[in-house]
Chain A
Amino acid sequence: MRPALLVIALILTGCPKNPALVRDAKTYEAEVQFFSMAATRQADQLAEFIASSCSCVEGAWSGSNQDLCASSALNVQTVGARIEWHAQMMRYNGGLIDERPPEEPPAIPSATDLCPMSDEARIEADEAEAEATPAIEGEEQ
């Protein structure tokens, strides 16, 4: 019976061009978690950098480091939207979980959604908000 089983196994597995790797499941899971954590922590720090050092005028990056701000924002948005999906796909394809993640990965929000307002724009927005807020009764007199 054993040779027959071997033949069946060979038929089922075939001779793939990219052979599957056999990995220790716990080490593999630890690696997935580590790389997810590394990406997420870096993205958190990039988000702090954007908030403290970048500014936008009318939805566009401005200032001397606008290119760095734009690419940092794209990285933050990509990691935020996708890292968990990619990690789950790694787990599924690696046989660590049985449930396949949705086929469509989450959409990546626009990088300019992270645009911090410039000081001038912030003052203008505050003024506009103040004007739009109805005066409280009694304060008008």
Chain B
Amino acid sequence: MSDFSKTLDSLVDTLGEAGVTLLSGQLSDLSSQADEPWQKLVLEMVAQGVESNGMDGIRLAEDALKSLMDNEVPDLSFLDLASASDVLAQLQNAEADRKRKAHDLVVKVGKTIGAILSGVIRAAVTSA
């Protein structure tokens, strides 16, 4: 959490000590479920939402995160360009990962089909 403590400190004015403690706890829980870049991103989104829209910003961040989790297009207009770029990078990497997995599967299946076909052809040639 030390990486995020600076950002959390900046939220004290808006959320109050209790709010930051609560958020800090939530992020600690989240860290056991999510990897570091996503955790950083969540905090970034909450921090920017609060910075630009006060308490309503938490709702904006929550909506954007829900959209991300539901595989829908998130509204990132409340973020600054650098943070929006971070979120977009995560989305693009996720798609690239899926593309790589799909490609690997196609290659594997292609090899298997090739092996089956060559076996069938060999058997056909032998029996002819």
Chain A residues close to B by CB (< 8 Å): 8, 12, 17-18, 71, 74-75, 77-79, 82, 85-86, 89-90, 92-93, 100, 103, 105, 108
Contact = CB atoms under 8 A, between A and B. Distances in A.
Interface stretch (B6-14, B53-61, B82-90): B82-90
Interface string B78-103: 00111001101100110110011010
Contacts of A75: 81
B92 A93 contact: yes
A71 B83 CA distance: 12
A31 to B, nearest CB: 16
A108 B105 CA distance: 35
Interface in B47-88: 71, 80-82, 85-86, 88
B106 interface: yes
A12 B109 contact: yes
Contacts of A89: 89, 92-93, 96
Contacts of B81: 74-75, 78-79
A93 B95 contact: yes
A12 B71 contact: no
Given A93-B95, A100-B100, A8 B85 contact: no
Contacts of B88: 86
Q: Which 7 A-B pairs have the closest CB atoms?
A: A89-B92, A105-B89, A78-B81, A78-B82, A82-B85, A93-B95, A75-B81
Interface of B: 71, 80-82, 85-86, 88-89, 92-93, 95-96, 99-100, 102, 105-106, 109, 113
A105 B87 CA distance: 11
Given A12-B102, A18-B71, A93-B99, A86 B92 contact: yes
Contacts of A12: 102, 105-106, 109
Contacts of B85: 78, 82, 86, 105, 108
A105 B100 CA distance: 18
Contacts of A86: 85, 88-89, 92
Contacts of A78: 81-82, 85
B80 A103 contact: no
Given A89-B92, A89-B93, 4 more contacts: A71-B80, A82-B85, A92-B99, A93-B95
A16 B106 CA distance: 16
A79 B84 CA distance: 11
B107 to A, nearest CB: 11
Nearest to B73: A18
Nearest to A39: B81
